[in-house]
Amino acid sequence: MNGNENEAVRNDSIVIKQYITHTQFAEINRLEAICHSQDGTNLKLETDYRLHRPKSAEPGIKELNEFLYYADGELVSYLGIASFGGNAAELNGMTHPDYRRKGIFTRLCGLALEECGKRSFDKILLLSDGKSESGQGFIRSVRGVYDFSEYRMRLRGQPAAERSGLVTLRKANNGDVPGLERLDVAIFGGIGEENVLPEEEEIRNEITYLIERDGTDIGRIKITYADSSAFISGFGIVPELRGQGFGKAALREALHLIRERNIPEAELDVEAKNANALHIYTSCGFQEMSVMDYYQAP
């Protein structure tokens, strides 16, 4: 988050939506670039996910996820609600540096929290770059309670990694959804993103792989491919097989797939207190790039 304002701005408009359009996608990305260039703030907006967020299959379902504030037709503040499994909501956003301390972000956050209250989330999390003074100040102002931190890690150049042959990666298809849901329960303790079909995600270069050992699915990993980078997410091994080298072997297989596409770097997020995962990533050459702090909304 990047906020911290106190007084209202007049004659502006708020747009609240379930899904963003391509135009709003571009506006949000422009605003993010301005904030980053001004103060180096890193955000976790997941704009690609938001643009392609699966539309509800149930008529009449209208969950409001996108909160946009315009001044004279220009997007100057944005906040989004995201949920990636486990019935937790993540709130993250930003305000243009010239429009901070005017009560804008406070207003958007209030509307978003009101929406979250209607949806029976078990937990509502406010996100902020650990180095963002305005983001941290805003969360203090609303009395957010620290929960955990997450590292954004990056591997550049991707040095050759020895492939152990312990596991193989198989691209998931729509028929694998029940198995992926079972893995989500075993690995993450809840249902993940399987309302999105793997073959539909692949159209957007988001590919989910099943991690197999002797023909048995023991984990999962997703790679989102772009021209200059790849992002690794949804990665885990079933608890009973952890600590046996399968996670590191799977990561090396994933890096091999990325290297085959001549993509020069890879990124991922990992919870700071997850020492085992941190060890796997650093041993494969990943380095910490930034820290995202998570706070529970009061």
- Per-residue pLDDT of 205-231, as tens digits, reads 999 999 999 999 999 999 999 989 999
pLDDT of residue 24: 97
From the list 182, 238, 193, 174, the residue with the least C-alpha distance to 211 is: 238
Q: What is the pLDDT of residues 130-172, one digit of tens each?
A: 888 889 999 999 999 999 999 999 998 765 567 888 999 999 9
Written out in words, the top-level CATH class of the domain with range 13-142 is: alpha beta
- Domain definitions of the chain by residue range: 13-142, 155-292
Q: What SS3 state is found at 252?
A: helix
Which position has the token pair 């050459």? 285
Terminal Cα distance for the chain, rounded: 16
Q: What is the DSSP letter of 19?
A: S
Give yes or no for residue 2 having a pLDDT over 80: no
Percent of the chain with pLDDT over 90: 70
Q: What SS3 state is found at 131?
A: coil
pLDDT of residue 57: 52
Q: What is the pLDDT of residues 25-71, one digit of tens each?
A: 999 999 999 999 988 888 999 888 888 776 655 555 588 999 999 99
Q: Do domains 13-142 and 155-292 have the same CATH topology?
A: yes
pLDDT of residue 86: 63
Show the DSSP H helices in the chain as ranges. Answer: 22-39, 47-51, 104-117, 133-141, 177-188, 198-202, 246-260, 275-283
Q: What is the pLDDT of residues 243-266, one digit of tens each?
A: 999 999 999 999 999 999 999 999
Written out in words, the top-level CATH class of the domain with range 155-292 is: alpha beta
Contacts (Cβ under 8 Å, ≥6 apart) of 136: 128, 130, 293
Q: Are 45 and 32 in contact (CB under 8 A)?
A: yes
Question: Rounded to an integer, what distance in angstroms lies between the CA atom of residue 220 and that of residue 250?
Answer: 9
* Model confidence, pTM: 0.82
Average pLDDT over residues 276-292: 91
Show the DSSP H helices in 40-62 as ranges. Answer: 47-51
Instruction: Please give the full DSSP string across 77-118, using - where no structure is assigned.
Output: EEEEEE--STTEEEEEEEE-GGGTTSSHHHHHHHHHHHHHHT
pLDDT of residue 156: 85
